[in-house]
Chain A
Amino acid sequence: DSGVTQTPKHLITATGQRVTLRCSPRSGDLSVYWYQQSLDQGLQFLIQYYNGEERAKGNILERFSAQQFPDLHSELNLSSLELGDSALYFCASSEQGGFGNEKLFFGSGTQLSVL
C-alpha cells in the first residue's frame, strides 16, 4: 500500500459527459501528480500541483483541469469526454516539489471507460 488513495476505482460514462477523479496523497506529501496511461501512449504526465499551486504541466488537454485543495487532496476534472479518453488515470505524491532525490508514490489508479 503506497498510502495514496484514488477514487473511484472504476468509472463508466458516455461521450460528452464530465467526470471528477479524486486523489488523497500520502500524509505529509505536498505534491500531487496526475498521469494518464493508455495502451498506445504509455504513461503520460498530465500535471503537477505543489502545496495548492500548479507546478508543472505536461500533455494535459484543455478539456481537462485539476486543482489541489487546502487539505492537499486533488481532483482531476475531465469534460466533454471522448472515446479516446478511456484510460487508466494515476495519481502520485511526493514530499516536496518533486526534486531529484524525491520518490514518487503512486495510487492504484482510476479506470475510466467512455462508451
Chain B
Amino acid sequence: DAKTTQPTSMDCAEGRAANLPCNHSTISGNEYVYWYRQIHSQGPQYIIHGLKNNETNEMASLIITEDRKSSTLILPHATLRDTAVYYCIVRFRDRGSTLGRLYFGRGTQLTVWP
C-alpha cells in the first residue's frame, strides 16, 4: 500500500470547519483513499473513502486533487466530539488482492476547542 503523510496534530475551534490534509504522492491508479478516526481507545470508525472524485456523506467531505497525490478531509462544523486521531489510508481496489487489510500510520490528532 502507498504510504501517507499527515501532520502530527491540528487544532480547530468548535463550530468551524476542520481541514485535515494527507499526502499520498506514490498512490497508484488502483488505490482508494480512506479516512478513519479513533476516539480515545475506542475502535477505529470509518468516515469516508474515494477513488478520484470528491465525496460527501453525513460525516464529512473528501477532496482529492486531480493528480490524486493528496487529499483533504473536511469536517464542516467541528464539535468537541470530533476530537480524535484521524487516519488517512490508501488501499488496493482490485478484487483478488490479498491486501485488503488497512495500514494505519500515526494519523493526525485533531483537538477541537470550545
Which A positions have Cβ atoms within 8 angstroms of B? 2, 4, 31, 33, 35, 42-43, 45, 48, 55-56, 58, 88, 90, 92, 94, 97-109, 111
A104 lies within 8 A of B95 (CB): no
Q: Which of A45, A100, A109 contacts B42 (CB 8 A)?
A: A109
Identity of the chain B residue whose Cβ is nearest the Cβ of A44 in the assembled complex: B104
Which of the listed residues A2, A43, A107 has the most CB atoms from chain B within 10 Å of its own CB?
A: A43
Query: Chain B residues with Cβ under 8 A from A58's Cβ?
Result: 101
- Chain B residues engaging chain A, CB cutoff 8 angstroms: 30-32, 38, 41-46, 49, 87, 91-106
Of B92, B94, B95, B100, most buried by chain A (CB within 10 Å of CB) is B100
Known: A99-B93, A100-B32, A100-B91. A4 touches B100 (CB 8 A): no
Q: Across the interface, do A45 and B43 meet the contact criterion of CB distance under 8 Å?
A: no
Note all chain B residues with C-beta closer than 8 A to A98. 99-101
Interface of B is mostly: loop
**CB distance A103 to B106 under 8 Å?**
no
Q: Residue B46 contacts which of A35, A97, A103, A109 (CB distance < 8 angstroms)?
A: A103
Measured CA separation A23–B45 after assembly (Å): 17
Contacts of A2 in B (CB 8 A): 43, 45
A111 and B32 CA atoms in complex are apart in Å by 31
- Are A90 and B31 neighbours in the complex by a CB distance under 8 Å? no
> In the complex, A102 Cα to B98 Cα: how many Å?
13
User: Which B residues touch A48, using CB under 8 A?
Assistant: 100-101
